[in-house]
């Protein structure tokens, strides 16, 4: 029956692989949400033994598509055909039974449960009343095989982001996944883990597994994928085979005209003024689990310059940024902002004095997802002291929605209904507006598509050049660091291990210092 | 103050067990994320049912069984409507509470009439033949059983997952509805048994409104012990003692009787503070999604 469906409309699908039948086919899949058509009659064939990249700008429908495949959303129209059979997936448990497992950008595993408890929840072969310790052995064995060190009895809140993602992937393997759906799951892993995982994905596919890979890193997709499907505004913009895929073709499909704006050239170097806006002196800050995450860091940001902080995730950047924002206690050392010692001052003080802040994990710490876009903007102390002028805020919100091309049915839509990248855009747009003196950011273009990421960098640089705003930007993305920074500081194991003028810095040297 | 330790232990055994079962059942249900504001109504109904069935059939086991079944049905209903529909847990719980009060009067009054006309009521006497020992044994066995179930088994992990983050739990392969039905059904079954013990072993009388307010005390006991099956033993004991002896305490220290009535609640707050300053607080923290409407098609970032 599926074969018939296949023969019926093969025209615009990429040619099937030699003799193989698709493991998953979508026919006319449509999913509407109030005010948007997230998926508009999607046709797609996914073949076993392939890595199939799913690309598209923010809000294109990528996450919605994999959530349909994982049984989280039920499509309004269309048919899902698995192994040649039309199948209804009404819950993730259904999908897991069919060998389909999703890993998303934000770990789904639950903090208060142990690793083993999280994993056993999806394992059908264990009945409900078995003790969880029954899976310990399997977990230990399998994790050794994949090359992950993990204690099955540890509670998840003790794990770092990277470790959580590793557990998610381990879980997928233990569930016997035949189709792995990776929704930006590896995008934010440190370089080394990332490479390990790309290797793992390749091997998994070569052994007959199937991977659907969502990423905004187009080069990575081109490297690892056998097939590429580009979504645009809920429709398939095109299917490409590895051989025919070029970066230009992909970008054109993804962004249309906007693709012409994409460039990784260094943005113009700023001419900073002599005045120091931010100074950090011999700073010591604790990490989450005891021990110093920041160990004697000193640095300076001049008026009208961008200081980029390069480093592999987990080397103290997060704690440094939080300490500067007064969100983490300083054990020793001083922070001086605008000539004033702020070591004992509050975040509020910074927020009403021209500091914008883009935190790590934006959906958790940057916006309140239950509230609307307007409310998320009005909440900043610069707007909400005394009586809120809602007319003004609405005007500002509408302006930001337009400027940042935030895809939303209305400014009153709760943020949780936006796509991952569009949530980030709300945060970035708001913070760039309030950063009239200093921007403090950690991965400011996280989750943004290429075109938007570059646009955000351009806006930041323009503010630095024109309005003499200063910025300290920590990022795990070296392309970003090189494109936007005027000076680059490299952070490793809680220390600054080198500072370079960006126009003279050598990439190899910086990469070396990062992993040294 | 007490005639002797022994008579104290025997004296509080019935109310202790009643409180314990209701509190632990309540805690089990809430662990799965369903806010339980119906407890007092269903407890009151359970008391009336136990009384009525005992009057009609003169059978303690049958009275307990029917109270348990009816309560469990209420638990299933609450879990179903709060998980399947985007309905506020508070509204569903409170309406059910009033429904419980109303039904309790409806069920209890005819039986009371029969009793006035001379029909007698089957009861259990804790002090007779060492029955009270069994009350403690039951409490401890249930405590260990529920603790093991919640903390050590797969379904326990599923219950906690559903209470922490139902959307993530679902993505991990949990059937949130099924798990909440299970936790609430079993939880309310325990509440129903607790109500029967309250009526048949503790008060042994019935008038309209009997049991009202005791459900809330069970609620407070569970809350003060962080819904932990073992710690609830301690809280339940404190509350049982205060309930049994509050007037005695008030009289001994020459306190107004209203202060006596307040004592259990002061104890609840004190217990809560004590538990929360210990390293146990992570285990005892309320489920993150307790009472939150869970609508499956909604995004979790
Ligand atoms: N649960 C939901 N309720 C309402 N609207 C939704 C919901 N989920 C997604 N949408 C909308 O559907 C569209 C597609 O969203 P989706 O998350 O699939 O985008 P995406 O391609 O993953 O984007 P990104 O790269 O930003 O993650 C968006 O316009 C989004 O606002
Ligand atoms: Mg997405």
At A128-141, the pLDDT tens digits run 999 999 999 999 99
Residue A419's alpha-carbon distances to A188, A236, A398, B301, in angstroms, are: 17, 18, 18, 8
**Residue range B12-31: mean pLDDT, rounded:** 97
Contacts (Cβ under 8 Å, ≥6 apart) of A254: A55, A56, A57, A60, A218, A230, A232, A237, A449, A450, A451
- Determine the pLDDT at residue A92: 92
pLDDT at A19: 58
- Residue B195 CA to residue B197 CA, distance in Å, equals 5
> For A154-174, what is each residue's pLDDT tens digit?
999 988 888 898 899 899 999
Residue range(s) defining the domain that contains residue A271: 265-354+437-516
The string of pLDDT tens digits covering residues A176-193 is: 999 999 999 988 788 888
What pLDDT score was predicted for residue A18? 52
B204 is in which domain, residue-wise?
A: 2-284
- For residues A241 and A15, what is the distance between their CA atoms, to the nearest angstrom? 9
Say which residue, B247 or B240, is predicted with more confidence. Answer: B240
Asked if A110 contacts B165 with a C-beta cutoff of 8 angstroms, the reply is yes
Ligand 1 midpoint to CA A414 (Å): 12
β A77-82/A24-33 pair status: antiparallel
Q: Which of A31, A33, A221 to mutate to test the pocket of ligand 1 (most atoms within 8 A of CB)?
A: A33
pLDDT tier at B287, thresholds 50, 70, 90: very high
pLDDT band at B20 (very low <50, low <70, confident <90, very high): very high
Together in a domain, A145 and A193: yes
Q: Calculate mean pLDDT across residues A443-463.
A: 93
**Same-domain check for residues A313 and A366:** no
- Would you say how long chain B is, in residues? 301
Highest mean pLDDT of the ranges A441-455, B23-37, B213-227: B23-37
pLDDT of residue A7: 40
Residue-wise pLDDT tens digits, A24-51: 999 999 999 988 999 999 999 999 999 9
> Of the candidates A438, A490, A443, which has an alpha carbon nearest to the alpha carbon of residue A464?
A438
Which ligand is nearest to the Cα of residue A418, counting in written order? 1
Q: Which residues line ligand 1 (CB under 6 A)?
A: A 33, 36, 38, 56, 58-64, 407, 417-422, 449; B 297-299
Q: Do A129 and A190 fall within a single domain?
A: yes
C-beta atoms of A102 and B160 within 8 A: no
Residue B68 falls within a domain, yes or no? yes
Question: Which residue has the least CA distance to atom 3 on ligand 1?
Answer: A417
Residue A78 has pLDDT above 60, yes or no: yes
Partners of A297 in beta bridges: A283
Residues A422, A284 share a domain: no
Residue A5: band (very low, low, confident or very high) from pLDDT cuts 50, 70, 90 = very low
Residue A319 to residue A328: CA distance in whole angstroms:
7
For chain B positions 133-162, those within 8 Å of chain A (CB to CB) are 149, 152-158, 160-161
The predicted pLDDT at position A382 comes to: 87
Residues A407 and A383 in one domain: yes
Of A53, A58, A64, A105, which is best to mutate to test ligand 1, by the most ligand atoms within 8 angstroms of its C-beta?
Answer: A64
Residue of chain A nearest B300, judged by CA positions: A416
- Is residue A246 domain-shared with residue A187, that is, in the same domain? yes
Output the average pLDDT for chain A.
91
Per-residue pLDDT reduced to its tens digit, A227-275: 999 999 999 999 999 899 999 999 999 999 888 889 899 999 999 999 9
**Phi and psi (nearest 5°) for B192?**
-65, -45
Q: What is the pLDDT of residues A96-150, one digit of tens each?
A: 999 999 998 888 999 999 999 999 999 989 999 999 999 999 999 988 887 778 8
| Neighbour count for residue B226 (Cβ, 10 Å) | 21
Q: What is the CATH number of the domain that holds A467?
A: 3.40.50.300
For ligand 1, atom 6, name the residue with the nearest CA.
A417
pLDDT of residue B297: 61
Of A261, A290, A305, the residue at which a domain comes to its end is A261
Of A434, A458, A490, the last residue of a domain is: A434
Tens-place pLDDT, residues B149-206: 999 999 999 999 999 999 999 999 999 999 999 999 999 999 999 999 999 999 999 9
A8 and A136 assigned to the same domain = yes
Cβ distance A72 to B296 less than 8 Å, yes or no, reads yes
Q: Which chain A residues contact residue B186 at CB under 8 A?
A: none
Does B297 fall in a domain?
A: no
Q: What is the mean pLDDT of residues A478-500?
A: 96
A10 pLDDT above the threshold of 50: no
A219 with A295, same domain: the answer is no
Q: What does the pLDDT read at residue B267?
A: 76
Instruction: Identify whether residues A229 and A337 lie together within a single domain.
Output: no
Tell me whether residues A112 and B298 touch, CB distance under 8 A: no
Average pLDDT, chain B: 91
- B77 belongs to a structural domain: yes
Q: What pLDDT sits at residue A41?
A: 97
Helix locations, chain B, DSSP H: 5-31, 39-57, 60-84, 89-116, 131-152, 154-164, 166-171, 176-197, 214-224, 231-252, 257-276, 281-284
Query: Which of B180, B200, B188, B190 has the alpha carbon at shortest distance from B71?
Result: B188
pLDDT of residue B3: 59
CB-CB neighbors (< 8 A) of B281 in chain A: none
Provide the CATH number for the domain around residue B140: 1.10.3470
Cα gap A92→B256, rounded to integer Å = 59
Q: How confident is residue A307, by pLDDT bands cut at 50, 70 and 90?
A: very high
Q: Is B125 on the interface with A (CB under 8 A)?
A: no
Residue among B175, B296, B174, B300 at smallest CA distance from A63: B300
| Residue B293 forms part of a structural domain | no
A130 touches chain B (CB under 8 A): yes
Token couple for B42: 């269903």
Flag whether pLDDT at B270 surpasses 90: no
- Residue B290 belongs to a domain: no
Q: Are A339 and A413 found together in one domain?
A: no
Q: Does the structure show a pLDDT above 70 at A3? A: no
Question: Do A9 and A112 belong to one domain?
Answer: yes
Q: Which of B165, B297, B301 sits opposite A73 (nearest CB)?
A: B297
Q: Which of A205, A227, A261 is the last residue of a domain?
A: A261
- C-alpha dist (Å) from residue A429 to A357, A397, A408, A510: 11, 9, 14, 30
* Residue of chain B with shortest Cα separation from A423: B301
Contact A110 B301 (CB under 8 A): no
Residues in chain A: 516
Number of domains composing chain B: 1
pLDDT for residue A4: 39
Is residue B298 a contact partner of residue B176, using CB atoms and an 8 Å limit? no
pLDDT at residue A278, as a whole number: 97
Q: Same domain for A181 and A36? A: yes
The answer, yes or no, to whether residue A493 has pLDDT greater than 70, is yes
Q: How far does Cα A108 stand from its chain's mean position?
A: 14
Question: Nearest C-alpha of chain A: how many angstroms from B66?
Answer: 26
Distances (CA, A) of A185 to A164, A182, A190, A364: 11, 5, 12, 17
- pLDDT given at position B298: 57
8 Å CB contact of A363 and B301: yes
pLDDT tens for residues A371-428? 999 999 999 988 887 788 999 999 999 999 999 999 999 999 999 999 999 999 999 9
Q: Look at A205-209, A282-286, B119-123, B277-281 and tell me which has the smallest mean pLDDT.
A: B277-281
**How many structural domains are present in chain A?**
3
Distance from C-alpha of A418 to C-alpha of A129, rounded to nearest angstrom: 39
CB contact B282 to A (< 8 Å): yes
pLDDT tens column, B61-106? 999 999 999 999 999 999 999 998 888 999 999 999 999 999 999 9
Give chain B positions within 8 Å (CB) of A109: 168, 172
Closest residue in A to B158 (Cα–Cα): A121
């Amino acid at each position: 029956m599926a074969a018939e469906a296949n023969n019926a409309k093969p025209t615009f699908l990429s040619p099937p692989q030699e003799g193989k039948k698709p493991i998953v086919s979508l026919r006319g899949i449509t999913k509407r949400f109030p005010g948007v058509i997230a998926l508009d009659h999607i046709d797609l064939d996914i073949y076993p033994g392939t890595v199939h990249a799913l690309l598209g700008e923010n809000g294109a429908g990528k996450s919605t598509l994999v959530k349909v495949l994982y049984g989280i959303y039920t499509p309004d129209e269309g048919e899902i055909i698995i192994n040649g059979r039309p199948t209804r997936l009404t819950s993730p448990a259904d999908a897991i039974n069919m060998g389909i497992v999703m890993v998303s950008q934000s770990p789904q595993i639950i903090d208060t449960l142990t690793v083993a408890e999280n994993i056993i929840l999806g394992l059908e072969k264990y009945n409900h009343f078995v003790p969880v310790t029954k899976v310990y052995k399997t977990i230990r064995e399998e994790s050794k095989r994949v090359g992950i060190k993990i204690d099955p009895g540890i509670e998840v809140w003790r794990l770092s982001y990277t470790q959580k993602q590793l557990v998610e992937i381990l879980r997928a393997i233990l569930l016997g996944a035949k189709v792995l759906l990776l929704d930006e799951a590896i995008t934010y892993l440190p370089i080394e883990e990332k490479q390990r995982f790309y290797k793992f994905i390749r091997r998994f596919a070569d052994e007959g597994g199937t991977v659907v890979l969502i990423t905004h890193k187009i080069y990575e997709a081109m490297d690892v994928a056998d097939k590429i499907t580009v979504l645009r505004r809920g429709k398939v913009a095109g299917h490409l085979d590895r051989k025919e895929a070029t970066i230009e073709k992909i970008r054109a499909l993804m962004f249309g005209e906007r693709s012409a704006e994409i460039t990784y050239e260094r943005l113009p170097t700023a001419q900073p003024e002599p005045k120091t806006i931010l100074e950090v002196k011999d700073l010591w800050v604790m990490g989450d689990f005891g021990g110093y995450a920041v160990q004697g860091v000193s640095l300076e940001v001049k008026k009208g310059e961008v200081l980029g902080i390069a480093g592999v995730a987990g080397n103290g950047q997060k704690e440094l940024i939080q300490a500067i924002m007064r969100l983490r206690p300083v054990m020793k050392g001083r922070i001086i902002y605008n000539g004033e010692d702020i070591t004992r001052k509050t975040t509020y003080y910074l927020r009403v004095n021209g500091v914008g802040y883009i935190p790590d994990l934006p959906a958790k710490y940057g916006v309140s997802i239950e509230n609307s876009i307007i409310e998320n903007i009005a909440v900043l102390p610069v707007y909400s002291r005394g009586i809120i002028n809602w007319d003004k805020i609405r005007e500002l919100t509408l302006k930001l929605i337009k400027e940042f091309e935030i895809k939303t049915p209305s400014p009153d839509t709760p943020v949780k209904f936006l796509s991952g990248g569009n949530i980030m855009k709300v945060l970035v747009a708001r913070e760039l507006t309030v950063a009239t003196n200093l921007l403090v950011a950690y991965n400011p273009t996280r989750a943004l598509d290429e075109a938007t990421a570059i646009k955000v960098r351009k806006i930041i640089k323009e503010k630095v050049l024109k309005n003499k705003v200063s910025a300290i930007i920590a990022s795990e993305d070296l392309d970003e660091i090189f494109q936007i920074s005027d000076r680059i500081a490299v952070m490793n194991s809680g220390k600054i291990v080198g500072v370079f003028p960006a126009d003279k810095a050598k990439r190899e040297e910086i990469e070396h210092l990062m992993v040294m | 103050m007490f005639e002797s330790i022994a008579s104290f232990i025997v004296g509080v055994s019935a109310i202790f067990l009643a409180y314990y079962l209701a509190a632990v059942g309540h805690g089990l249900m809430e662990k799965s994320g369903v806010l339980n504001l119906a407890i007092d109504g269903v407890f009151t109904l359970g008391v009336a049912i136990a009384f009525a069935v005992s009057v009609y059939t003169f059978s303690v086991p049958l009275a307990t069984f029917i109270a348990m079944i009816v309560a469990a049905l209420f638990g299933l209903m609450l879990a179903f409507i709060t998980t399947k529909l985007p309905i506020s847990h508070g509204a569903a719980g409170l309406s059910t509470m009033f429904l419980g009060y109303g039904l309790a009067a409806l069920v209890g009054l005819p039986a009371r009439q029969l009793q006035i006309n001379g029909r007698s009521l089957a009861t259990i006497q804790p002090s007779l033949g060492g029955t009270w020992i069994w009350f403690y044994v039951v409490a401890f066995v249930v405590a260990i059983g529920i603790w093991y179930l919640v903390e050590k088994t797969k379904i326990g992990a599923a219950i906690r997952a559903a209470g922490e983050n139902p959307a993530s739990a679902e993505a991990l392969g949990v059937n949130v509805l099924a798990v909440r039905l299970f936790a609430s059904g079993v939880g309310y079954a325990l509440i129903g048994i607790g109500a029967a013990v309250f009526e048949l072993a503790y008060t042994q009388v019935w008038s309209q409104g009997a049991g009202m307010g005791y459900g809330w005390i069970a609620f407070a006991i569970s809350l003060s012990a962080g819904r932990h099956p073992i710690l609830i033993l301690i809280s339940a004991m404190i509350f049982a003692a205060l309930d049994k002896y509050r007037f005695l305490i008030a009289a001994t220290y020459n306190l107004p009787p209203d202060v006596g009535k307040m004592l259990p609640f002061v104890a609840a707050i004190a217990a809560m503070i004590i538990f929360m300053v210990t390293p146990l607080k992570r285990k005892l923290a309320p489920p993150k999604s307790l009472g939150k409407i869970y609508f499956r098609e909604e995004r979790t970032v």
